[in-house]
Amino acid sequence: MWIFAYGSLIFRPSFRFVERRRAFVRGWARRFWQGSPDHRGVPGAPGRVVTLVPSVDEPCGGCAYRVDAAEADAILAVLDVREQAGFERHLLALHDRPDEPPFAEGVTWVAGAANAHFLGPLPEREIADYVRARRGPSGTNADYVLCLREALSELGVDDAHVEAIARHLR
């Protein structure tokens, strides 16, 4: 089984895996539009974390983890708890490059606009100002942005949205 990571699972997977590789999904873009009342913020002052939003023009790059089939159910149960604040499981085609055929399907978690924690779009400078002031049990919201930016850079994945917010944070 494969798991697609596009946010904190890239730099903090918290589960055992057999293989890790760069991967892309088509039809989705990464955006800091989801509220986090449990990791990078608290109830009443949620942080902003990434979710996937539909996009015909912009593929989303991240990484794919292949996990041992014998451990898959236990890993999914742990990740369902970790991604509980508005996220739901999705199965998506995984590509080595956006223009190539898929190499597998992978499970990921998406927080859609109808969930109670969805914060929606803001200009990137305003997102940076927002995350600068937030902190939760998993650390500061700004660290989340900067760790994600660094992890994407290490994978060779360009994401203009993440780059712009990180630039405004500095």
Please list, in sequence order, all residues whose beta carbon lies within 8 angstroms of the beta carbon of residue 160, skipping any fewer than 6 positions away. none
Domain of 78?
Answer: 2-169
pLDDT at 170: 86
| Cβ within 8 Å of residue 5, ≥6 positions away | 13, 62, 63, 64, 65, 108
> How far, in Å, CA of 124 to CA of 78, rounded?
31
Contact between residue 10 and residue 26 where contact means Cβ atoms under 8 Å apart: no
Mean pLDDT split into 10-residue runs, the chain, 170 residues: 97 96 98 95 95 94 98 96 93 96 98 96 98 96 98 98 96
CA–CA distance, 35 with 168 (Å, rounded to integer) = 19
How many Å apart are CA 128 and CA 156, to the nearest integer?
A: 23
Find out whether 65 and 19 touch, Cβ atoms under 8 Å: yes
Whether the CB-CB separation of 92 and 106 falls below 8 Å is answered with: yes
pLDDT for res 43? 94
CA gap 96, 109 in Å, rounded:
20
CB atoms within 10 A of CB 32: 26
CATH number at residue 18: 3.10.490.10
Total tally of structural domains belonging to the chain: 1
CA distance 45 to 96: 37
- Give the other-Cβ count within 10 Å of 120's Cβ: 10
* Per-residue confidence (pLDDT) for residue 148, from 0 to 100: 98
Pairing of strands 102-110, 2-5: parallel
Catalytic machinery residues: 83
Instruction: Give bridge partners of residue 52 from the DSSP assignment.
Output: 30
Q: What is the pLDDT of residues 82-91, one digit of tens each?
A: 998 999 999 9
Return d(Cα 159, Cα 152) in angstroms, integer. 8
pTM for the full predicted model: 0.95
